[in-house]
């Protein structure tokens, strides 16, 4: 449990998924504090990229109507849980995913500036469709994450832009709509997948959107073959692993699962454009790991687990993936992962499953396989 205190309010906030040690990592940062210290006009407020709901909860505590806009289901679930933790009125919050149209003109926009310039460009383009010259637009981030390229995007898409002084190593961006017309670029990137006839499409917030990351490339050489039943591509990203497994396992069904709307949309687009004849063997789900998935039901879970969340290095998300996979696999089903060699996943999997074998390894990565035994 962490206490977020400013002059006007006090909030109990948690990260989500919970880490098991609530005091290890706090659920807000200096940019959140700096944004909330600004004068915000009355009327509806758009909040973009609110990591764990700190901005949403603080505004609701003031009685504000908030639209929480994010590409992360987990971030929005964190906001929901923190609203409940602080007994705040959840009816004041409307949740919008990153690919849906914005419904109203806001009085103000608070945007936690993402590190991914493509996502920022896509979000500013969305805002451009509803804001007016009277809309107050304030961005916030760590000072080291605001670059000339960041400011150039605000200036090109929105208009007059200035920055604040740094405060607790955070900085703000103030922007006003002054550009009358702007030609928005197509943000989705496409590139041929080497060694295949596939063309891979990537929405703005997909990991390694410009090329196939080297971990996935290595994993593709060590995927299971000849399985039947249901396979899950967990944390699917653009779906490359699931698509490869789909071709290697013609008697199986593939479930593409990620907490990012843009990732799941990319995976769906890639299956539709490259393997349209296999579409009936596929399902696509935006989800918090495998919560809600049936126990004892799946033949395999394939995963390239993260070792960070937001800006913090942590393995608790990977550990939740392993536990959920263990619960969902039927007896004889396997979890197969790729990971950096320096991570101690082998010991974790052996503790959880009672077994773990190395399927492949090189100087950077290792592919591990654990089977759920009776």
Q: How many CA atoms lie within 13 A of 358 on its CB side?
A: 12
125/254 Cα distance (integer angstroms): 33
Look at residue 317 in the predicted model and tell me its pLDDT. Answer: 86
Backbone angles phi, psi at 112, to 5 degrees: -75, 115
Asked which of 137-146, 312-321, 332-341 is least confident by mean pLDDT, the reply is 312-321
Per-residue pLDDT tens for 175-200?
999 998 888 888 899 999 988 999 99
Residue 172 has pLDDT above 80, yes or no: yes
Position of tokens 């539709």? 272
Residue 210 has pLDDT above 90, yes or no: no
Q: What is the CA radius of gyration of the chain?
A: 22
Q: Which residues contact 72 (CB under 8 A, 6 or more apart)?
A: 49, 259, 260
Look at residue 195 in the predicted model and tell me its pLDDT. Answer: 86
Return the higher-pLDDT residue of 148 and 312. 148
Per-residue pLDDT tens for 266-282?
999 999 999 999 999 99
- What confidence tier does 21 reach under pLDDT thresholds 50, 70, 90? low
Residue 78 has pLDDT above 70, yes or no: yes
Asked which of 17-31, 150-164, 245-259, 327-341 is least confident by mean pLDDT, the reply is 17-31
Look at residue 18 in the predicted model and tell me its pLDDT. Answer: 66
- What confidence tier does 314 reach under pLDDT thresholds 50, 70, 90? low
Q: Which range among 3-12, 81-90, 191-200, 202-211 has the greatest average pLDDT?
A: 81-90
- The DSSP bridge pattern shows strands 365-371 and 170-175 to be unpaired
Residue range 145-170: mean pLDDT, rounded: 97
In eight-state DSSP terms, residue 332 is E
Nearest to 89 by CA among 47, 59, 48, 111: 59
Residue 91 has pLDDT above 60, yes or no: yes
Per-residue pLDDT tens for 248-260?
999 999 999 999 9
Report the SS3 class of residue 220: helix
184/188 Cα distance (integer angstroms): 12
Stretch (H or E) spanning 319: helix 316-328
Counting residues of the chain whose pLDDT is more than 90, the rounded percentage is: 84
Q: What is the mean pLDDT of the chain?
A: 93
Look at residue 20 in the predicted model and tell me its pLDDT. Answer: 58
Residue 339 has pLDDT above 80, yes or no: yes
Cα dihedral sign, 105-106-107-108: negative
- What confidence tier does 312 reach under pLDDT thresholds 50, 70, 90? very low
110, 55 contact by CB (below 8 A): yes
Look at residue 17 in the predicted model and tell me its pLDDT. Answer: 78
pTM of the shown model:
0.94
Report the SS3 class of residue 243: helix
User: Can you read off the two tokens belonging to residue 374?
Assistant: 């009776």
Counting residues of the chain whose pLDDT is more than 70, the rounded percentage is: 96
360/187 Cα distance (integer angstroms): 35
- What confidence tier does 24 reach under pLDDT thresholds 50, 70, 90? low
- What confidence tier does 207 reach under pLDDT thresholds 50, 70, 90? confident
Nearest to 325 by CA among 362, 371, 368: 371
């Amino acid at each position: 449990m962490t206490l977020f205190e400013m002059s006007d309010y006090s909030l109990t906030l948690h990260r989500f998924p919970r880490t098991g040690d609530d005091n290890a990592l706090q659920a807000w940062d200096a940019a959140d504090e700096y944004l909330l210290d600004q004068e915000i006009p009355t009327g509806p407020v758009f909040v973009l990229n609110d990591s764990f709901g700190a901005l949403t909860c603080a505004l609701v505590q003031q009685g504000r109507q908030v639209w929480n806009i994010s590409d992360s289901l987990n971030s929005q679930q964190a906001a929901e849980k923190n609203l409940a933790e602080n007994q705040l009125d959840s009816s004041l919050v409307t949740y919008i995913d990153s690919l849906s149209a914005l419904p109203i003109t806001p009085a103000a926009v608070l945007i936690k500036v993402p590190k991914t310039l493509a996502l920022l460009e896509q979000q500013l383009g969305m805002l451009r469709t509803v804001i007016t010259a009277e809309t107050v637009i304030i961005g916030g981030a760590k000072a080291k994450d605001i670059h000339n390229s960041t400011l150039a995007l605000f200036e090109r898409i929105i208009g007059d832009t200035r920055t604040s002084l740094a405060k607790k190593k955070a900085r703000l961006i103030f922007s006003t709509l002054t550009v009358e017309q702007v030609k928005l670029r197509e943000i989705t990137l496409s590139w041929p997948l080497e060694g295949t006839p596939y063309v891979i499409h990537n929405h703005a917030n997909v990991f390694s959107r410009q090329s196939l990351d080297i971990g996935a490339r290595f994993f593709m050489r060590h995927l299971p073959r000849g399985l039947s039943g249901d396979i899950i591509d967990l944390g699917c990203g653009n779906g490359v692993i699931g698509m490869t497994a789909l071709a290697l396992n013609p008697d199986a069904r593939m479930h593409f699962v990620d907490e990012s709307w843009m990732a799941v949309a990319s995976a769906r687009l890639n299956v539709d454009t490259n393997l349209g004849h296999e579409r009936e063997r596929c399902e696509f789900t935006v989800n918090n790991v495998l919560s809600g998935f049936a126990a004892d039901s799946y033949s395999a879970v394939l995963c390239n687990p993260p070792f960070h969340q937001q800006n913090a290095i942590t393995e608790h998300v990977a550990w939740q993936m392993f536990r959920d996979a263990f619960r969902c696999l039927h007896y004889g089903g396997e979890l197969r992962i790729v990971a950096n060699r320096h991570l101690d996943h082998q010991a974790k999997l052996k503790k959880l499953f009672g077994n773990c074998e190395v399927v492949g390894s090189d100087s950077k990565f290792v592919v591990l396989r654990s089977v759920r035994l009776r």
